[in-house]
Amino acid sequence: MKIPELLRKKPEFSLPRLLKVGDASDCSSLHATGFAHPWSASEFEALLADPSCLSVGVALKSELAGYLMSRVASDEAEVLTIVVAPTLRTFGCAQRLLLDHLSRLAARGVTVVFLEVDAENEAAMALYRRNGFVEVGRRKAYYARAEGARGDALVMRRNLG
Ligand SMILES: CC(C)(COP(=O)(O)OP(=O)(O)OC[C@H]1O[C@@H](n2cnc3c(N)ncnc32)[C@H](O)[C@@H]1OP(=O)(O)O)[C@@H](O)C(=O)NCCC(=O)NCCS
């Protein structure tokens, strides 16, 4: 680790809280920092209003720092998206969100969680593997990349309980 990284002070994130429809615009802005094809505020409004979706965020000084959203169907859940503000990454925010989320899902009776991740997204794959997700499938050439190239998606799974 480089010295400037060692000197970065760990932010004091809030406890995770359930997000509301009023958070849609902040969710959309944060999403645009992490993904090439960001979701609009109205798409987030629909997700946040959907009772089958679980949306949990963490704040830093009352600003949304990161969030995780999943959709529950019976005893299964699918992670829809997770993102942390670029300057607040590698400080444990995603880890906090994921642990909180898994316990909320288990409390709702979910027994298995699936997600899809870009096979080249090393940070996300490390996060998921560290938390017990295992690869159960690969969607070849699933993501569009620059200049017509395509990238694979991995399907990962974790059992709860
Ligand atoms: C993936 C992402 C959510 C991780 O958020 P984060 O708050 O930085 O992650 P954390 O600090 O909680 O890290 C938790 C674990 O994830 C892994 N990890 C996170 N960032 C990493 C990186 N840059 N390189 C390698 N591993 C990383 C590590 O295993 C880490 O545990 P450790 O610190 O004990 O080694 C963040 O990089 C992000 O928002 N990326 C853009 C959006 C995205 O790609 N979302 C995932 C789509 S599937």
Q: How confident is the model at residue 9 (pLDDT cuts 50, 70, 90)?
A: confident
Q: How confident is the model at residue 8 (pLDDT cuts 50, 70, 90)?
A: confident
| Nearest atom in ligand 1 to 116's CA | 48
What pLDDT is attached to residue 110? 98
Whether residue 92 is contained in a domain is answered as yes
Whether residue 142 is contained in a domain is answered as yes
Is the predicted pLDDT of residue 1 greater than 70, yes or no? no
Whether residue 134 is contained in a domain is answered as yes
Is 147 close to ligand 1, i.e. is its CB under 6 Å away? no
Q: What tokens does 148 get? A: 């017509």
Whether residue 1 is contained in a domain is answered as no
For residues 58 and 36, is the Cβ–Cβ distance under 8 A? Answer: no
What pLDDT is attached to residue 6? 60
Is 79 close to ligand 1, i.e. is its CB under 6 Å away? no
What pLDDT is attached to residue 3? 59
Whether residue 118 is contained in a domain is answered as yes
Whether residue 52 is contained in a domain is answered as yes
Percent helix, strand, coil in the chain, to 5, is 35, 35, 30
What is the DSSP track for 32-69?
HTT-SSPPPHHHHHHHHH-TTEEEEEEEETTEEEEEEE
Pairing of strands 134-144, 150-159: antiparallel
Mean pLDDT over the full length of the chain: 94
Whether residue 2 is contained in a domain is answered as no
What pLDDT is attached to residue 2? 59
Contacts 24+ apart (CB under 8 A), 100-104: 100/16, 100/56, 101/16, 101/54, 101/56, 101/68, 101/70, 102/131, 102/158, 102/160, 104/54, 104/56
Indicate the helix (H) or strand (E) that contains 111: none
Number of domains in the chain: 1
CA torsion, points 140, 124, 71, 21, in degrees to nearest 10?
-130
Is the predicted pLDDT of residue 4 greater than 70, yes or no? no
125 alpha carbon – ligand 1 mean position (Å) = 8
Q: What angle do CA 104, 107, 111 make, to 5 degrees?
A: 95
116 alpha carbon – ligand 1 mean position (Å) = 15
The residue to mutate among 28, 29, 101, 127, having the most atoms of ligand 1 within 8 angstroms of its beta carbon, is: 127
Is 105 close to ligand 1, i.e. is its CB under 6 Å away? no
Whether residue 4 is contained in a domain is answered as no
Distance of CA 12 to the CA centre of its chain: 19
What pLDDT is attached to residue 143? 86
Query: Of all protein residues, whose CA lies closest to atom 10 belonging to ligand 1?
Result: 92
The CATH number of the domain holding residue 119 is 3.40.630.30
| Nearest atom in ligand 1 to 121's CA | 44
Tell me the pLDDT tens digit for each residue of 38-96.
999 999 999 999 999 999 999 999 999 999 999 999 999 999 999 999 999 999 999 99
> What is the domain extent for residue 133?
9-159
Query: Of all protein residues, whose CA lies closest to atom 41 belonging to ligand 1?
Result: 34
| Nearest atom in ligand 1 to 85's CA | 39
